[in-house]
Structure 1
Amino acid sequence: MTDLTIHAGPFSFGAAFEAAAPKTVAAFRAAMPFVSQIVHVRWSGEGVWVPLGEHDFGVGYENHTSHPAPGHVILYPGGISETEILLAYGGVDFSSKMGQLAGNHFITLTSGLENLRPLGEMVLWQGAQPIRFEAA
């Protein structure tokens, strides 16, 4: 099932919302279409992220993990580090300069996975890329 499309750099991905994170999904749906930029993670491994500073989605932890699988999108709701969205393209140990974090796994990519690593490597070597989350 495809609930949304994610356009990142020159790539597009089909994705589904996670039923295990209903509050996070509802808060994010209310913010769609969500447009920003992704940059490569600093401490977490093979992932790209959207730094959101003090943005408050009004959610706490649900379906949270420190080790999202490739193709998982997590939302860190803020706390000891800034609010952020992270998309894993390889191995991730979700962390900040404050230490290990956990984010809400609320989206899973369902198509376009062959372009996930090329996206991550593009962001690593070429810098920030645009990202857009929109209803499918």
Structure 2
Amino acid sequence: MTDILITINDVRLVGRLEHELAPKTCRYFETLLPYDTKFIHVRWSGEACWVPLGEVTMPFGFENATSYPAPGQMIFYPGGFSEAEILLAYGGVQFASALGQLAGNHFMTITEGNNQLRALGKRTLWEGAQDVRMERIA
């Protein structure tokens, strides 16, 4: 089991990588760590924050894919119909792009700090992009 600390300004979340359900996605994500990026609010998917990754080819396909991540679930879309991205659900989500419904790999679940997700989502919506750091917990 690998735990990830996710720091967004004053918000601290702990996530558990879902190695058994999405092994290739988790292995790839671990190669990015520590990962500094920004969360922005989604455009089509509902209540979530996301990291656009652009038109890149990921070294994994679909595994443990869902269009409806629950609050506290992170999904990694490997690209194809839309750009690759990482998404963190804080409320109701139907994962989509301008082209319609998509599915992404559920690869991490927030295990600590879920009570801060809604406030994080609202802040991202109303105040804009939020600095994020994701790293292994030592």
Query: Which of the five TM-score ranges fits, normalised by the shorter chain?
Result: over 0.9
CA drift at 1:9: 3.3
Aligned residues: 136
Instruction: Give matches, 1:16-95, under 5 Å.
Output: 16-18=16-18, 19-95=20-96
CA drift at 1:2: 6.0
CA drift at 1:8: 1.8
Structure 2: runs of 5 or more not aligned: none
Matched, 1:3 2:24: no
Letter in 2 for 1:17: L
Aligned twin of 2:125:
124
Measured in 1, the distance between the counterparts of 2:49 and 2:125 equals: 8
Matched, 1:113 2:117: no
- The RMSD of aligned alpha carbons is 1.1
Which contiguous aligned blocks of 4+ residues in structure 1 show a shift greater than 6 angstroms?
Answer: none
Letter in 2 for 1:3: D
TM-score (norm: length of structure 1): 0.96
Matched, 1:134 2:138: no
Letter in 2 for 1:113: N
Deviations 1:39-86 (A, max 9, x none): 000000000000010233311000000000000000000001000000
Q: Per the alignment, in what secondary structure is the counterpart of residue 7 of structure 2? A: strand
Equivalent residues of 2:58, 2:79 under 8 A apart: no
Measured in 2, the distance between the counterparts of 1:8 and 1:102 equals: 25
Q: Per the alignment, in what secondary structure is the counterpart of residue 52 of structure 1? A: strand
CA drift at 1:10: 2.1
Identity within the alignment, %: 54
CA drift at 1:133: 1.0
Q: Per the alignment, in what secondary structure is the counterpart of residue 26 of structure 2? A: helix
